[in-house]
């Protein structure tokens, strides 16, 4: 919706027309309501802000009497609002929002109205911020944060900059969003936002920063969908906790092998329980990460079950069928996470990992990529003679067929 700029005289007329419409007057009927009379007096004295706010008091009547034209009426109200002094924008949209919130109107209609106002070119940054908070409140109240707002998480800092919020205001907004995510128990999204907060330069005091960082370590370990532990450890607020017990847990997720994990769990069972660490989930994730590391080192190669057993499992079992089942379960779990792509050969008791996500990316990983490229180059070079021979054989075959056809034609013509 485009914005329209009114002169003071036009604005006065529009506010009066708006008030008359809300009071239920028609073109043939002069408005008689006390509200309209007061709006008329305020407009005559050029107090347009007060006149508009008073007119809005009759907005709930339209929800019941004239719902079919409600969208047009609200759009009209938005245009009037944007012609008022900027300082009044937030207070006026709060009035409109409260009327919407207390109505029986469909949630999607409320969100559509707010979205329309947010995207009007003339909407100020402060008003955009207020509208987004209103949208967040509606979504939180109705369990719609995941479906409507979580896709915006990685853009929230950009939004706060566009809204010209102070660092303290930005932090307050992000914490409000985080509370809404947590209310819907969206673990992965909460982790993403907490990482953004800890990685930013927002004024988070040392105590709160440490508390959030310590809590975040446990959340990432318990979250079945989170595996980016190297990126987590690179956050300064996390790295500064290297002497904490929580970081000692995280350290196991930064290793290529987890054979020491079972001993660590046995020695710290009570501490892990007090932090609500899900040991079963943590163990499964460590096994998946260990398999991922094996895949990175043996991409495209056959990997035997015995090799996986030594690297992924810390214990030995006598029942080979049971161990094979455990290995295949870990492979399948790894595929489900999207960390690897693989083909299992149960008869050969082996697996070929065709794709594996790098747990970290540095000089060693670049070197591995170079090795793979050189290997592919060598393989392609060895195929070239085969391809050329194939082309030559095809050409010879076509040539022989052509010669045979010519001979037959000559033979036929000579016999005639």
Span 64-122, pLDDT tens digits: 666 667 788 888 888 898 899 988 999 988 888 888 888 777 889 889 888 988 988 77
134 in a structural domain: no
Q: Which of 85, 118, 151 is at the close of a domain?
A: 118
Residue numbers of the domain that contains 21: 1-118
Is-contact 234 211, C-beta < 8 A? Answer: no
* pLDDT classification of 62: cutoffs 50, 70, 90: confident
Determine which of 63-67, 128-132, 303-307, 382-386 has the lowest per-residue pLDDT on average: 63-67
240 in a structural domain: yes
97 in a structural domain: yes
161 in a structural domain: no
Q: Which of 118, 150, 179 is at the close of a domain?
A: 118
User: Who's near 197: CB < 8 A, 6+ residues apart?
Assistant: 171, 174, 175, 178, 204, 212
pLDDT at 413: 47
298 in a structural domain: yes
**Of the ranges 17-31, 35-49, 94-108, 370-384, the best mean pLDDT one:** 35-49
92 in a structural domain: yes
CA distance 203 to 15: 43
362 in a structural domain: yes
Q: Which of 54, 85, 118 is at the close of a domain?
A: 118
Helical segments of 142-278, H only: 156-162, 167-183, 187-199, 206-222, 229-233, 236-239, 245-252, 261-267, 269-274
Give the chain's domain count: 2
Query: pTM above 0.85?
Result: no
Report which of 47, 145, 139, 146 is spatially closest to residue 88, judged by C-alpha positions.
47
149 in a structural domain: no
pLDDT digits (tens, 9 = 90+) for 212-268: 999 999 999 999 999 999 999 999 999 999 999 999 999 999 987 777 898 999 999
pLDDT at 414: 47
Q: Residues 293-297: what's their mean pLDDT?
A: 88
């Amino acid at each position: 919706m485009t914005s329209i700029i009114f002169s003071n005289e036009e604005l006065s007329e529009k506010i009066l027309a708006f008030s008359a419409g809300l009071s239920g007057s028609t073109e043939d009927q002069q408005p008689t309501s006390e509200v309209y009379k007061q709006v008329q007096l305020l407009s005559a004295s050029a107090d347009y802000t007060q006149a508009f706010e008073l007119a809005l008091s009759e907005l709930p009547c339209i929800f019941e009497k004239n719902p079919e034209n409600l969208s047009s009426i609200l759009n009209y109200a938005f245009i009037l609002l944007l012609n008022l002094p900027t300082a009044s924008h937030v207070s006026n949209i709060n009035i409109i929002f409260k009327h919407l919130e207390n109505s029986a109107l469909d949630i999607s209609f409320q969100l559509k109205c707010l979205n329309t106002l947010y995207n009007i070119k003339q909407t100020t940054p402060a008003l955009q911020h207020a509208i987004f908070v209103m949208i967040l409140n509606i979504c939180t109240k109705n369990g719609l944060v995941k479906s409507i707002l979580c896709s915006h998480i990685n853009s929230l800092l950009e939004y706060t900059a566009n809204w010209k919020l102070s660092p303290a205001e930005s932090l307050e907004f992000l914490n409000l969003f985080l509370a809404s995510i947590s209310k819907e128990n969206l673990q992965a999204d909460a982790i993403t936002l907490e990482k953004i907060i800890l990685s930013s330069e927002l004024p988070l005091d040392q105590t709160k920063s440490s508390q959030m960082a310590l809590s975040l370590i446990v959340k990432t370990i318990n979250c079945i969908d989170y595996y980016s532990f190297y990126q987590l450890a690179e956050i300064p607020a996390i790295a500064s906790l290297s002497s904490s017990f929580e970081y000692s847990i995280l350290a196991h997720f930064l290793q290529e092998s987890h054979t020491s994990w079972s001993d660590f769990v046995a020695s710290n069972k009570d501490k892990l329980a007090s932090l609500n660490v899900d040991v079963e989930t943590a163990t499964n994730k460590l096994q998946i990460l260990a398999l991922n590391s094996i895949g990175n080192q043996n991409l495209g190669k056959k990997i035997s079950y015995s090799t996986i057993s030594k690297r992924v499992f810390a214990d030995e079992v006598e029942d080979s069928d049971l161990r094979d089942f455990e290995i295949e379960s870990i492979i399948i779990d790894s595929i489900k996470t999207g960390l690897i792509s693989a083909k299992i050969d149960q008869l050969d008791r082996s697996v070929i990992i065709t794709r594996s996500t790098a747990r970290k990316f540095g000089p060693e990983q670049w070197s591995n990529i170079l090795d793979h490229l050189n290997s592919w180059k060598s393989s392609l070079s060895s195929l070239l003679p085969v391809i050329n021979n194939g082309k030559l054989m095809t050409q010879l075959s076509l040539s022989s067929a052509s010669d045979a056809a010519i001979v037959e034609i000559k033979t036929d013509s000579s016999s005639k």
